[in-house]
Amino acid sequence: MKRQETIGYGAIAVSILLVILGWNGITLEGEIEDIPTPNTPNRSYFADEPLPEKGFGPFLSVTLDLTWDRDDVYAVIVDQDEKNTCESTPPGLQDLGDPATCGPYDTDVIIGSTDGATGLTWQVESGTYYVGIGTFETVPNGVEVNMEYSVHLQAGFALYFVFTLIGIFGLAYSRVE
């Protein structure tokens, strides 16, 4: 076998391997314990730090799964503008307007869930987003909540395009005389 054929078939094999690895992706898991539970019903309180921004936009597909251990707590994901709006409204004045504002049923919430067992699943988008938690109508049963997260990274469209180009290069190079 010629050197060109070896390199070409090697590139095809690498391309196929990268497609399989990109399809399966990797999953990063973790747990955040002892998050203080807010005592103001139907109001979301947000993390000080935003979620990490989605780098490599079209190259990666990122899915976030979030679950928690309490039934009286909800979780939401909002953009920076909604976070600023919610934080600028004092808790006592929130109910004077729309009662859904800054709560679990706010129309400006990107995604939210009121069930900790099923949690929420979000296909991460580009931009600055924050996770918020809150409690329902009554005072919460405890003072802390534990959350588990799972981040699944897969190859995006642009990476599959690159993998295809590697395969085409390998096929063409293996045919060189």
How far is the C-alpha of 17 from the C-alpha of 20, rounded, in Å? 5
Q: Is 142 part of a structural domain of the chain?
A: yes
**Which range marks the domain in which residue 52 is found?**
29-154
pLDDT averaged per 10 residues, the chain (length 177): 88 94 93 85 86 82 92 90 84 58 83 89 90 81 87 92 94 87
Q: Is 89 part of a structural domain of the chain?
A: yes
- The continuous run of DSSP H or E covering 30 comes out as strand 26-36
Q: Is 159 part of a structural domain of the chain?
A: no
The residues, any chain, with a CB within 8 Å of residue 120's CB and separated by 6 or more, are 65, 66, 75, 77, 111, 112, 113
pLDDT at 142: 77
Q: Is 170 part of a structural domain of the chain?
A: no
The residues, any chain, with a CB within 8 Å of residue 170's CB and separated by 6 or more, are 7, 8, 9, 10, 11, 12, 13, 14, 15
> How many domains does the chain contain in total?
1
Q: Is 21 part of a structural domain of the chain?
A: no
Q: Is 100 part of a structural domain of the chain?
A: yes
Is the distance from CB of 94 to CB of 101 less than 8 angstroms? yes
C-alpha angle with apex 101: 116 to 117, nearest 5 degrees? 5
pLDDT at 55: 75
pLDDT tens-place string over residues 46-79: 888 888 887 777 888 999 999 998 888 899 999 9
Q: Pseudo-torsion of CA 105, 70, 80, 153, nearest 10°?
A: -110
Q: What is the CATH number of the domain that holds 95?
A: 2.60.120
Is the distance from CB of 130 to CB of 52 less than 8 angstroms? no
